[in-house]
Homo-oligomer: A and B are copies of this chain.
Amino acid sequence: MHKEKLLMTPGPTMVPPSVLETLGRQIIHHRTKEFRNIFKDLNDSLKYIFQTQNHILTFSSSGTGAMESVIANLFSAGDKVVVASIGVFGDRFAKIAEAFGLNVDLISVEWGKAVDPQLIKQKLDDDKQNEIKAVIVTHNETSTGVTNDIKAVGRIVSKTNKLFIIDAISSIGGIDIQADNWGIDVIVGSSQKALMTPPGLAFVSVSPKAWEAHKNSKLPKFYWNYSAYRKGLEQNMPDAPYTPAVTLMIAQNQAINLIKEEGLQNIFERHKRLAFATQAGAEALGLKLFPDKAVSSYIITAIKAPEGIDTEEVRKIMNQKYDIMVTGGQQHLKGKIIRIGHCGYVDRFSLIKVFTAMEYALKESGYPVELGAGVSAVEKALY
Which residues of chain A have a CB within 8 Å of any CB of chain B? 4-5, 7, 9, 11-15, 20-21, 23-30, 32, 59-65, 67-68, 72, 77, 95-96, 99-101, 190, 192, 198-200, 219-225, 241-248, 325
Contacts and interface: CB of A to CB of B under 8 A. Distances in A.
Contacts of A241: 64
Contact of A100 (B29, B220, B246, B247): B220
The DSSP consensus for interface residues of chain A is: loop
Contacts of A14: 26-27
A243 B199 contact: yes
Contacts of A242: 62-65
A20 B26 contact: yes
A23 B26 contact: no
A28 B11 contact: no
Given A64-B223, A95-B222, A5 B21 contact: no
A33 to B, nearest CB: 10
B220 A99 contact: yes
Given A62-B244, A62-B245, A199-B244, 12 more contacts: A7-B29, A12-B243, A15-B27, A32-B325, A60-B65, A64-B222, A68-B221, A96-B223, A190-B243, A199-B245, A200-B247, A247-B248
Contacts of A13: 27
Contact of A199 (B60, B198, B219): B60
9 contacts: A5-B32, A12-B27, A12-B243, A15-B26, A20-B25, A23-B24, A64-B243, A198-B247, A220-B220
A5 B23 contact: no
Contacts of A23: 23-24, 247
Nearest to A102: B220
A5 B24 contact: no
Contacts of A59: 61
A223 B246 CA distance: 22
Contacts of A67: 223
A15 to B, nearest CB: 5
Contacts of A7: 27-29
A95 to B, nearest CB: 7
A75 B224 CA distance: 18
A62 B243 contact: yes
Shortest beta-carbon contacts, A-B, top 6: A24-B24, A200-B245, A198-B247, A64-B242, A62-B242, A100-B220
A270 to B, nearest CB: 20
Contacts of A61: 59-61, 65, 223
A220 B24 contact: no
Contacts of A101: 220
A220 B219 contact: yes
Contacts of A30: 12, 199
Nearest to A228: B64
Contacts of A24: 20-21, 23-24
Contacts of A20: 24-26
A325 B29 contact: yes
A5 B221 CA distance: 35
Contacts of A100: 220, 222
Nearest to A219: B220
A195 to B, nearest CB: 13
A18 B63 CA distance: 29
A11 B29 CA distance: 8
Contact of A96 (B32, B95, B198, B222): B222
